[in-house]
Amino acid sequence: MPDSPQLRYHLAQLAELCRNYPFDRKIVFVPSRQIGHNLGTALLRAGVSWVNLHLTTPADWAAKLAESKLKAAGWRPLVQGADHFFMLEAIQRMEWPSGHSFDGSYSAMGLAATCLKTARALRMAEIPPETLASADVALPGRSMFIDLYTTYCEWLEDEQLYDEATLFAEAQKASSPDSIVGILDETPLSESAYRFITSIGNPLVRIGRSDYGKPGPQHSALVRFQQTSPVGSGESAGPGGRVQTDGIFASDGDLVQIREAVGIENEVRGVLREYVRHGVSLDGIEIVYTSEDPYLPLLVDSLEQLDLPATFAAGIPVTLTRPGQALIGFFRWIAKDFDQDELVRLLRSRLLFLPPVNGTARSYAVGDGASSSRKMIESTEVARIILEARVGPGRTSWATALGSIRARTEGEISAGISEGRRRHHERRLALIRGANSVLNKLYSLPPDSEHTSLREMARAGAAFLDGFGWKQTHRDKRARDSLMDRLTDLAESGSARGRLHDLSALMAELLTGHKVEAAIARPGHIYVVPLERAGYTGRGETAIIGLSETTFPGVATEDPILLDDERARVSGRLVLQRARASEPAWHFIRTMGMASGRVTLTASRRDTTDGRETYPSAIFEQIREQLGIKHPPVYRTVPDVEAALSGAEVVMALRGTMAVMREVLHERPWLLNGLQAVRNRSAVPFGPHDGWLGRETPELRPSVTKAVSASRLEALAACPHRYFLRYVLGVRPPDQEEERPGQWLAPLEFGSLLHEVLRKFMEGVSSRGEAVDVDRHTGEMMDHLYETVSLYRDRLPARYETGYRIDIRRLERAVQIFLAEESRRRTEPVGFEVSFGMGNRGDLAVPEPVALKLDDDVQLLLRGSIDRVDRSDDGYEVWDYKSGSTYDYDEADMLSGGRRLQWALYAYVLDELLARAGMNGGTQSSGYFFPSDREHGLRLSAKPPSRAEVGNRLAPLFELVGKGAFLHVQKNKACTYCDYRSICALERKGKKDLGVVFDDPVTRPFYDALATWMDVERTG
């Protein structure tokens, strides 16, 4: 059959191979089994006959050739994760030199993962321990790692466990029948895989393009076999694949389209809306994500909510399922010494399916005899009993604690109480009995020794899942089955031993990365796939989401055990981590070139967690320019009504229509008051609804009699109306935004956690008189970080595990940046969290607020806390840690037109505190330090301005307050990220609106102050 003209190059080349060798055995190596399956389906759909074509991975083919021989000789496959437990045990057995930065329980856990990764890479590169030992490299803790690597290799040998490296080595010795051998360009080939492939297919044929416009991944088949030309002469790549060769043209706009989105949630929903709106068949859609975090959880959530069937090439994190969350929670509970709060959280989250108690299906008797009613016990009820009994930590105290509240209740019944109270107490007794039964089973599951084995831990996990794991939905069942299989494999895998708490913590860590439901593309389902596996289904619509610079192309971090330079010196066979950074861009071009239909590219332009603007990646911008598009269409929160995917979106889209308004006002009549306020605001330039009270309010003016904070003054300087809402009316925005899939902590919580860690660390280092040293202090900093994270997690349980992990990574990066930055500094820290007016007394701290006179009319009483005071040769420095971005900070104008006051005010306060403490010298500079990964340790600081300058900025604002004029007028656009924007952003007024105010005699009392503050000439 002739090939269809629109077949893309990879399918056309496979078709040509099949045509040239119709009956020969043809082995074509592909990166994964799924890809092989998807390619086979795409060939079938295109009508290509592929008799005797084997689409397989190098590892699968090696297993086919060598596995039976290995098994016959008594070898067993290495179970995924079992080597992690071995490595932990090996690290804990080692005698680390005292003070070594790897010594300590946290480090042992992290170190096991890092060492294991390096050891696996060395084995796949066929570099034995002796070669590493003789290499001319200075590894940190070199001899320790070489010992570990040697032990690891010996363990595999002694236990007769084969990994992929063994399989490839063994398969090279096996004879392989004559075949035509081909390989897809993108197939990764470690040294051992490469040697195996060349042993069976030399020469072989390439399936790929002759020029992608970008070098391929370092150890891909493309690079390994770069001298070989692709099969056949034609290379029909999709137009997007030409982005770095011939370029894309405006005429390609039908096949390559770009979209921007307000936030990542809208990016996902926008793509789905567009497909649904245009009636695209679900099995014609492939959605590609560039970054698992945060896109995969978002896609899972959105597809589930909208009831759109989908399969996931890389599966979904088990942390998005109830059995997964419950099992991980179970291991964390053990790791934390059976912590009461951990268990309560698990129960309150309704993650446990409560097993039968008192004989009959999950019920327990309430009341007595024939008149008794039967009621299901709820996990929240068990949680309540635990809290009431104060079960505490450890595995033994619970029974005594429950026994004592039971005895107390029984005692009260026997003492004689009213009939009503007796019934209440009996119900309570039944609850205690139910809780007792649940806890009895739960506490009996973990191994009862403090030292135990992986086998016992895995069995405990399986028993927990069996007794308490949900299996109500299909997803629950699949997750539970998959976890059961994993635990069974681990239980049978080996004899690693360790402390109960450590093995539990590692088990929780390993399972957090477990995925379920990995699947091929199926009819009737959208296919969701990570970028490196995308492009093989031949579907008509491909969407590539996550193309803003925050997620694409991402960063590659170096292996701390073997840095890139050291890798290069050990052997050219090891992949250099820095080379990995360009791999996503290459896969992007490959996917675009393979796409047989239209490709939609999306990038988010806003980080909705903090309102920060984000930017499209360089390649997205390049495509936009090549297509000649200035302003791409934008996916917004409120869609057009035709694009709405749910009832709620329809109502949002129609919210301005009379019918919807009438309906809403009928349900919520108090909203009429809001409508009335809107009308009143538009009736006059300024009235009571705009914040002008129409009378003087001198009692509200800041003075030396009532302490204020710097943030309060900054709110006034940003918008007097914001000051009025927050500090006069006391209107509080909702405390905590709803947790999002890509985020655990709200920005405020994130900032305070980071502050706390940095304070604890600096206090510790400083009290020992040490200077910060990144090599020496990394372990200590990490200990503070994880300890504080654990405290926060107790208080703020993470709903989304991915969000939790993203935040942890952000925090890890922030503290590493902090350490690197501090290591370079030569100043002496002399104060941390130096508070004034907060009731604390310390070296510089004073319990009372500090009075500041800025000029004759501006005097105030300030309270607050200075994050950090350093002493340098020139004097003192004030630093405030900022966990966010520098957006809204201006290095050239540190006062930002009068809105950023804290740094200057704190400098004046420090002068006062130094004088009180009798310390010489004054504040030489003050500013902000941004240790976040966004700003990479940037410092903005300046010599403090004169007090009179700050006084001049504040004077007209104080006067406006005294006149009772809390207007929604701003010098800069302050509404965008204001907590009150839903209340009054639409009424905001700027300079250009003030003419009408000055023309209105009614508003005369605040003319002058307003004109001075706004820096405008008054016309009236």
In the bound complex, what is the minimum distance in angstroms from residue 981's beta carbon to ligand SF4?
A: 4
Considering beta carbons, is residue 326 or 716 the nearer one to ligand SF4?
Answer: 716
DSSP 919-950: ----EEEEEEEE-STTTTTEEEEEPPPPHHHH
Among 119, 346, 772, 978, binds ligand SF4 (CB under 6 A): 978
Q: Is 993 exposed, middle or buried (0-12, 13-18, 19+ CB in 10 A)?
A: exposed
Chain center to CA of 135: 38
Q: Measured between alpha carbons, how far is residue 981 from residues 296, 737, 749 in Å?
A: 31, 15, 21
Q: Is 96 in the site for ligand SF4 (CB under 6 A)?
A: no
In the bound complex, what is the minimum distance in angstroms from residue 983's beta carbon to ligand SF4?
A: 6
Number of residues that bind ligand SF4 (CB under 6 A): 13
Among 259, 721, 863, 899, binds ligand SF4 (CB under 6 A): 721
Picking from 159, 155, 163, 201, the residue whose alpha carbon sits closest to that of residue 67 is: 163
Contact stretch for ligand SF4 (CB under 6 A) within 20-28, 415-423, 493-501, 719-727:
719-727
SS3 string, 817-886, reads: HHHHHHHHCCCEEEEEEEEECCCCCCCCCECCCEEEEEECCEEEEEEEEEEEEEEECCEEEEEEECCCCC
Contact stretch for ligand SF4 (CB under 6 A) within 320-328, 390-398, 399-407, 976-984:
976-984
CA-CA distance, 737 to 465, in Å (whole number)? 33
CA-CA distance, 319 to 329, in Å (whole number)? 10
In the bound complex, what is the minimum distance in angstroms from residue 731's beta carbon to ligand SF4?
A: 10
Considering beta carbons, is residue 380 or 976 the nearer one to ligand SF4?
Answer: 976
Among 180, 465, 819, 975, binds ligand SF4 (CB under 6 A): 975
Considering beta carbons, is residue 328 or 708 the nearer one to ligand SF4?
Answer: 708
In the bound complex, what is the minimum distance in angstroms from residue 608's beta carbon to ligand SF4?
A: 17
In the bound complex, what is the minimum distance in angstroms from residue 876's beta carbon to ligand SF4?
A: 34
Among 13, 988, 994, 1013, binds ligand SF4 (CB under 6 A): 988
In the bound complex, what is the minimum distance in angstroms from residue 988's beta carbon to ligand SF4?
A: 4
Q: Is 981 in the site for ligand SF4 (CB under 6 A)?
A: yes
Q: Which residues pair with 44 in a beta bridge?
A: none
Picking from 290, 244, 259, the residue whose alpha carbon sits closest to that of residue 552 is: 290
Establish how many alpha carbons lie within 13 A of residue 677's alpha carbon, considering only the half-sphere containing its beta carbon: 13
State the CB neighbour count (10 A cutoff) for residue 814. 26
Q: Is 365 in the site for ligand SF4 (CB under 6 A)?
A: no
DSSP code of residue 991:
G
Among 984, 994, 997, 1011, binds ligand SF4 (CB under 6 A): 984
| 944-973: contacts with ligand SF4 (CB under 6 A) | 968
Chain center to CA of 791: 19
Q: SS3 of 693, please?
A: coil
Site string for ligand SF4, 723-762 (x = CB under 6 A): --x-------------------------------------
Considering beta carbons, is residue 469 or 691 the nearer one to ligand SF4?
Answer: 691
Q: Is 985 in the site for ligand SF4 (CB under 6 A)?
A: yes
In the bound complex, what is the minimum distance in angstroms from residue 986's beta carbon to ligand SF4?
A: 9
Residue 984 has which token pair? 């009054």
Among 980, 996, 1005, 1012, binds ligand SF4 (CB under 6 A): 980
Q: Phi first, then psi: what are they for 707, rounded to 5°?
A: -70, 140
Considering beta carbons, is residue 587 or 899 the nearer one to ligand SF4?
Answer: 899
Considering beta carbons, is residue 433 or 726 the nearer one to ligand SF4?
Answer: 726
Q: What letters, b where the CB count within 10 A reaches 16 and e where it falls short, cover 341-362?
A: bbbbbbbbbebbbbeebeeeee
CA-CA distance, 525 to 312, in Å (whole number)? 10
Residue 410 has which token pair? 């029984």
Q: Is 719 in the site for ligand SF4 (CB under 6 A)?
A: yes
Contact stretch for ligand SF4 (CB under 6 A) within 339-347, 664-672, 855-863, 975-983:
975-983
CA-CA distance, 458 to 200, in Å (whole number)? 40
Q: Is 1014 in the site for ligand SF4 (CB under 6 A)?
A: no
Considering beta carbons, is residue 777 or 989 the nearer one to ligand SF4?
Answer: 989
End-to-end alpha carbon distance in the chain: 86
In the bound complex, what is the minimum distance in angstroms from residue 880's beta carbon to ligand SF4?
A: 22
Q: Is 443 in the site for ligand SF4 (CB under 6 A)?
A: no
Considering beta carbons, is residue 62 or 718 the nearer one to ligand SF4?
Answer: 718
Task: Yes or no: say if 56 and 63 are a contact pair by the CB < 8 Å rule.
Answer: no
Among 433, 486, 722, 805, binds ligand SF4 (CB under 6 A): 722
DSSP 306-360: TT--EEETT-EEGGGSHHHHHHHHHHHHHHTTS-HHHHHHHHHTT---PPP-SSS
Q: Is 997 in the site for ligand SF4 (CB under 6 A)?
A: no
Considering beta carbons, is residue 235 or 888 the nearer one to ligand SF4?
Answer: 888
Q: What letters, b where the CB count within 10 A reaches 16 and e where it falls short, cover 597-624?
A: bbbbbbbbbbbbbbbbebebbebbeebb
Considering beta carbons, is residue 661 or 985 the nearer one to ligand SF4?
Answer: 985
- Hunting for tokens 């119900």 — which residue is that? 427
Site string for ligand SF4, 660-699 (x = CB under 6 A): ----------------------------------------
In the bound complex, what is the minimum distance in angstroms from residue 664's beta carbon to ligand SF4?
A: 22
Q: Quick one: the chain helix, strand, coil %, rounded to 5?
A: 50, 15, 35
Considering beta carbons, is residue 619 or 978 the nearer one to ligand SF4?
Answer: 978
Helix (H) or strand (E) segment spanning residue 257: strand 256-261
Contact stretch for ligand SF4 (CB under 6 A) within 117-125, 738-746, 883-891, 979-987:
979-987
Considering beta carbons, is residue 643 or 978 the nearer one to ligand SF4?
Answer: 978
Considering beta carbons, is residue 402 or 716 the nearer one to ligand SF4?
Answer: 716
Residue 73 has which token pair? 């000789």
Return residues touching ligand SF4 (CB under 6 A): 719, 721-722, 725, 968, 974-975, 978, 980-981, 984-985, 988
